[in-house]
């Protein structure tokens, strides 16, 4: 029997809602088609932004949205994307698919999207191919209230008041597509560029330095050593790729070997956060600098017949388990992890939403975001567990992953993932600190097969249902998790 003790009276700090953040790049059909259809589209829209996608994203309470890339950010010149649309520069998106970028979705459209979603914008500036002046002027354009060339231009373009901009990234993957730099060089550039990312008026920018590729601990070491006093956050990027970069594995057509390796690689996020945090602790023991996981998620081979540069992949129950595992890991590192942005919101990589013309479907990953949103800004609770393993071919992984929190109203939320595709998990949960769990209810996401997914023809193959396999006796819960399931329980005492 698996045993879990949750100390409901020992809180361990806030779970920053920004770990439920998103990332939308000018890549494939994420921005164009997925989010932006233009005012003249027959698809119902609000000033060019499709209404169905907006409504779905509002439901999961997107707290922060990263834009315009990704690799695109270090090729993006923001001035091309403001002013009258008919004269905006047309360019080729060389990095992603070689398609024409007409710049119809630019700064104003992005800020409108964030306003409609009621989320914080997180803009990534161009270090790789942009100048200090260009970055500095972008910040001036967006946030300066008074008289200045950039603020005047913003007003001419229809935005009288400056926007509030909190999160700003100084480059993206500068070890790779963002300029192939060495950490010593980038850390000097970071120091230089960030100097001119000014705080105008009451706008205070949280500056995020471009961080390491997965386990490049030296990058974190050098960045922290050379620049930690000049940053508020440092990023890392880590993708869950079951194969290698030449054959990443299929999104839908896989068997248990790939299921197992995917779970193993998803669990690796825990090790990466632990090790990067240990380095950060050396320079920043007070944990002032946040670890920002601004790209994460599954990365599989693209769907057959689609542009390889569009990174379009389906999304199965396996993706849902990967999302649940990540959130539990992020919760359990809430002292250092202050933001995470899944890649990407619509039609790209581990997407929440897929679209085809006017049709839209929600993926299993979307449903996990919906089930877990109760943890946003809640107090993390201490969890001690002794659970069994999921065994495959002589290898093992922890079968059950758990995290818990208490929200402002005092409700306790517990999220559990059973990653074993064949075996259920019986779990006894003791809620210390309360006498009686008066009301317990929950929802579950599971399905008959590990490959199950939603399609435009069958949209609800994988969707959450009410969860009833829980027996309550005073402060003890007996829970039965079916194989490959994600469950969120709510307890009122």
Q: Among all residues, which ones are annotated catalytic?
A: 173, 295
Residue closer to ligand AHR (CB basis): 348 or 378: 348
CA distance 233 to 338: 8
Q: Which of 173, 270, 370, 420 binds ligand AHR (CB under 6 A)?
A: 173
223 makes contact with ligand AHR (CB under 6 A): no
Q: What angle do CA 241, 396, 12 make, to 5 degrees?
A: 80
128 makes contact with ligand AHR (CB under 6 A): no
Smallest distance, ligand AHR to C-beta of residue 481, A: 31
| 3-state helix, strand and coil shares in percent for the chain, rounded to the nearest 5 | 30, 30, 40
Which residue stretch of 242-250, 260-268, 343-351, 390-398 sits at the interface with ligand AHR (rule: CB under 6 A)? 343-351
354 makes contact with ligand AHR (CB under 6 A): no
CA distance 144 to 24: 25
Residue ranges of the alpha helices (H) in 228-343? Answer: 256-283, 317-332
71 makes contact with ligand AHR (CB under 6 A): yes
Smallest distance, ligand AHR to C-beta of residue 228, A: 22
Site for ligand AHR in 278-297 (CB under 6 A): 295
Number of residue whose CB is nearest ligand AHR: 70
Q: Which of 93, 107, 172, 240 binds ligand AHR (CB under 6 A)?
A: 172
* Nearest residue to 207 (alpha-carbon basis) of 236, 173, 168, 237: 168
For the record, the structure tokens of 370 come out as 């919906």
Which residue stretch of 66-74, 108-116, 217-225, 317-325 sits at the interface with ligand AHR (rule: CB under 6 A)? 66-74
Site for ligand AHR in 232-261 (CB under 6 A): none
319 makes contact with ligand AHR (CB under 6 A): no
419 makes contact with ligand AHR (CB under 6 A): no
The tally of CA atoms less than 13 A away on the side-chain side of residue 35 is 29
Smallest distance, ligand AHR to C-beta of residue 460, A: 28
Q: Which of 57, 197, 343, 404 binds ligand AHR (CB under 6 A)?
A: 343
Smallest distance, ligand AHR to C-beta of residue 172, A: 5
CA distance 21 to 330: 12
69 makes contact with ligand AHR (CB under 6 A): yes
Residue closer to ligand AHR (CB basis): 175 or 206: 175
With b meaning 16 or more CB within 10 Å and e meaning fewer, what string describes 52-86? ebbebbeebbbbbbbbbbbbbbbbbebbebbbebe
70 makes contact with ligand AHR (CB under 6 A): yes
Pairing of strands 167-170, 206-213: parallel
Smallest distance, ligand AHR to C-beta of residue 312, A: 12
In contact, 418 and 485? CB cutoff 8 Å = yes
With b meaning 16 or more CB within 10 Å and e meaning fewer, what string describes 379-404? bbbbbebebbebebeeeebbbbbbbb
Smallest distance, ligand AHR to C-beta of residue 186, A: 14
Which residue stretch of 65-73, 215-223, 281-289, 415-423 sits at the interface with ligand AHR (rule: CB under 6 A)? 65-73
CA distance 177 to 180: 6
In contact, 304 and 348? CB cutoff 8 Å = no
Cα 444 from chain centroid?
Answer: 21
Q: Which of 2, 20, 25, 290 binds ligand AHR (CB under 6 A)?
A: 25
* Nearest residue to 7 (alpha-carbon basis) of 404, 487, 438: 404
Residue closer to ligand AHR (CB basis): 71 or 227: 71
In contact, 370 and 17? CB cutoff 8 Å = no
Smallest distance, ligand AHR to C-beta of residue 33, A: 17
Task: Give the interface with ligand AHR as residue ranges (CB under 6 A).
Answer: 25, 69-71, 172-173, 295, 343-344, 349
């Amino acid at each position: 029997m698996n045993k879990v003790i949750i100390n409901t009276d020992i809180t361990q700090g806030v779970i920053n809602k920004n770990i439920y953040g998103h990332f939308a790049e000018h890549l494939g059909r994420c921005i164009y088609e997925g989010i932006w259809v233009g005012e003249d589209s027959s698809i119902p829209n609000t000033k060019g932004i499709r209404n169905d996608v907006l409504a779905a994203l509002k439901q999961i309470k997107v707290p922060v949205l990263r834009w315009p890339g990704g690799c695109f950010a270090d090729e993006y010149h923001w001035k091309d994307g403001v002013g009258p649309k008919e004269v905006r520069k047309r360019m080729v998106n060389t990095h992603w698919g070689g398609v024409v970028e007409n710049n119809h979705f630019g700064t104003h459209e992005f800020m409108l999207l964030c306003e409609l979603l009621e989320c914080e914008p997180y803009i990534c500036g161009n270090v790789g191919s942009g100048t200090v002046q260009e970055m500095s002027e972008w910040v001036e354009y967006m946030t300066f209230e008074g008289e200045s060339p950039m603020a005047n231009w913003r007003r001419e373009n229809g935005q009288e008041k400056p926007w509030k901009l909190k999160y700003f990234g100084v480059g993206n993957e500068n070890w790779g597509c963002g300029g192939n730099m060495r950490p010593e060089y980038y850390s000097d550039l970071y120091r230089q560029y960030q100097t001119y990312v000014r705080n105008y008026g009451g706008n205070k920018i949280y500056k995020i330095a471009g961080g390491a590729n997965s386990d490049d601990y030296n990058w974190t070491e050098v960045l922290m050593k050379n620049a930690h006093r000049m940053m508020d956050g440092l990023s890392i990027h880590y993708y869950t790729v079951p194969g290698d970069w030449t054959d990443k594995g299929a999104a839908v057509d896989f068997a248990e070997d790939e299921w197992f390796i995917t779970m193993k690689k998803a669990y690796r996020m825990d090790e990466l956060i632990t090790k990067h945090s240990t380095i950060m602790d050396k320079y920043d023991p007070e944990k002032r600098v946040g670890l920002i996981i601004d790209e994460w998620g599954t990365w599989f081979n693209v769907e057959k017949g689609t542009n390889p540069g569009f990174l379009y992949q389906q999304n199965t129950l396996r993706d849902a388990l990967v999302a649940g595992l990540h959130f539990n890991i992020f919760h359990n590192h809430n002292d250092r992890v202050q933001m995470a942005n899944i890649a990407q919101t619509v039609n790209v990589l581990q997407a929440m939403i897929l679209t085809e013309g006017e049709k839209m479907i929600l993926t299993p990953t979307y449903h996990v975001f919906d089930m877990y949103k109760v943890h946003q800004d809640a107090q993390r609770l201490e969890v001690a567990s002794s659970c069994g393993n999921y065994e495959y071919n002589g290898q093992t992984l922890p079968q059950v992953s758990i995290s818990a929190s208490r929200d402002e109203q005092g409700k306790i939320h517990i999220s559990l993932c059973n990653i074993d595709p064949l075996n259920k998990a019986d779990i006894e949960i003791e809620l210390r600190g309360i006498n009686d769990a008066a009301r317990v209810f929950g929802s579950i996401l599971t399905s008959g097969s590990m490959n199950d997914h939603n399609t435009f023809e069958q949209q609800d193959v994988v969707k959450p249902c009410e969860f009833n396999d829980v027996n309550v006796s005073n402060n003890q819960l007996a829970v039965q998790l079916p194989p490959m399931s994600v469950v969120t329980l709510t307890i009122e005492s």
